[in-house]
Copies of this chain bind each other. A is one copy, B any other.
């Protein structure tokens, strides 16, 4: 048992997988530079000491190139873990991410696999509109990617290891304010998402949501940083309003654990979905649409969503604070429908 941050837990997960399987390697910008940062958020810090620069491969600033190289290597049987420093930069690699990786197996009639992991940090951190996006929904819409979004170190490690062993392309969206990076790479406004990590190896299967707090009056579905805002909202709702909220973290968006969610909503009759991404066309819409259709009769109130407003992310601190959903807005949403 050891207390690790998400950045550390991911690092240990990568280390274990790279020790276990020679085909696993990391590819990205600034990830293995000697005396460097270990990637934008220290996740790969020190790994090139153990594995060398061929397996912790620094690239030019060429997102299309590096993501495409990962896809090609995966098609040939390696198991790359690629990363982009901020998820906003995925748009520079979008042809590879949308047109190639998730379609290659299908187009080959099932002959090819693309066992790659693509890590991408999301979330607003006072850096303006091009370093703030939560982009999960774009990929949620693209058939062929699995999507993990760990909210704590335990999940991060377990999901990463599962991702590396999956034969499909897998996204891991990590929240910048949850990494727990220390020192110069620390992000202000960080939340402690560290966990006790067992000494023994463990994997977390995809498609298994976690009920973080049991409740009976309303279900709150949230990912990443929004999990913490939701838990805080739930506590205050309980202590101040006597409302018992169940908080669920789906942990993976594709596959999505509808079973756990539906069971919960059948019990509570109410659902609030929370994501940091903007509302219109976000993944929350899909869940809301499905819940509203599949268990229509179990709903005591319409499904509500708490999301960022449909604007680019503003820079100024008070604006960004207003942009990102928080416990107050979640409470409001719960109270409005209660």
Residues of A participating in the B interface, judged by any CB pair closer than 8 Å: 88-89, 91-92, 94-95, 97-99, 102-103, 106-107, 128-130, 137-138, 140-141, 143-144, 254, 278, 280-286, 288-289, 292-294, 296, 299, 301-305, 310-312, 314
Q: Which residues of B contact A254 (CB under 8 A)?
A: 280
Most buried by B among A138, A254, A301: A138
With known contacts A102-B312, A103-B130, A129-B107, A293–B302 Cβ distance under 8 A: yes
Partner of A107, one of B89, B128, B283, B301: B128
User: Are A280 and B143 in contact, with the CB atoms below 8 A?
Assistant: yes
Cβ of A159 to closest chain B Cβ, rounded Å? 20
Given contacts A94-B92, A141-B280, A106 and B303 within 8 Å (CB-CB): no
Give the complex CA separation of A331 and B275 in angstroms. Answer: 35
Chain B's closest residue to A283 (CB) is: B281
A-B contact pairs, 15 of them (CB 8 A): A94-B94, A103-B130, A138-B138, A140-B280, A141-B278, A141-B281, A141-B282, A143-B312, A144-B312, A281-B283, A285-B285, A285-B288, A292-B302, A293-B305, A294-B302
Contact between A281 and B140 (Cβ–Cβ < 8 Å)?
yes
Residues of B contacting A141 with CB < 8 Å? 137-138, 141, 278, 280-282
- Other A-B contacts than A91-B97, A141-B280, 9 sampled, CB-CB below 8 A, are A88-B99, A91-B98, A99-B130, A107-B312, A284-B289, A288-B293, A292-B303, A293-B304, A294-B302
Contact partners of A130 in chain B: CB under 8 A: 99, 103
Partner of A129, one of B106, B296, B303, B310: B106
C-alpha spacing A103/B285, complex, angstroms: 23
Chain B contacts of A103 at CB under 8 A?
A: 129-130, 312
Contacts of A301 in B (CB 8 A): 296
A305 to B102, CA, bound (A): 24
In angstroms, Cα B129 to Cα A141, docked, is: 15
Within the assembled complex, what's the spacing in Å between the Cα atoms of A99 and B138? Answer: 13
CB neighbours (8 Å) of A299 from chain B are: 296
Point out the residue from B94, B138, B281 that lies within 8 Å of A285, measured CB to CB.
Answer: B281
Residue of B nearest to A284 (CB): B289
Distance, CA A88 to CA B107, complexed state (A): 15
For A135, the closest partner residue in chain B by CB is B98
CB-CB under 8 A from A289, the residues of chain B are 284-286, 288-289, 292, 303, 305
Given A285-B289, A312-B144, A91:B95 Cβ within 8 A: yes
What's the nearest-Cβ distance from chain B to residue A301, in Å?
Answer: 8
